[in-house]
Amino acid sequence: MFGLGLQELIIVLVIVMILFGAKRLPELASGMGKAVKNFKKATTEPDEIDVSPKKRSAEDKDHTAEEKGERT
């Protein structure tokens, strides 16, 4: 695993605990887990279809106003 032994992993864990504290460590791990999960989900899912309404052009507005009998 990346050429890291048990001693190196313990040293890294101690440094992380000193920097972030024991209370924030579960929050960081949870955030990293969610990020990895979302990344995997985004790479495997097909692209989402955009269903937001598009802005109507001036021609469309004139056309719909004529159908309603209105003038702009």
Q: Which of residues 2 and 29 earns the better pLDDT score?
A: 29
Residue 37 has pLDDT above 90, yes or no: yes
**What's the confidence (pLDDT) of residue 54?**
74
In a domain, 17, yes or no: yes
What is the number of structural domains in the chain? 1
11 inside domain: yes
Considering only residues 66 and 29, tell me which one the structure prediction assigns the higher pLDDT. Answer: 29
Residue 31 lies in a domain: yes
* Residue found by looking up tokens 């949870």 in the block: 30
- The range of the structural domain enclosing residue 22 comes to 1-42
Please say if the pLDDT value at position 72 is more than 60: no
Q: Crossing angle, helix 25-44 and helix 6-20, to 10 degrees?
A: 110
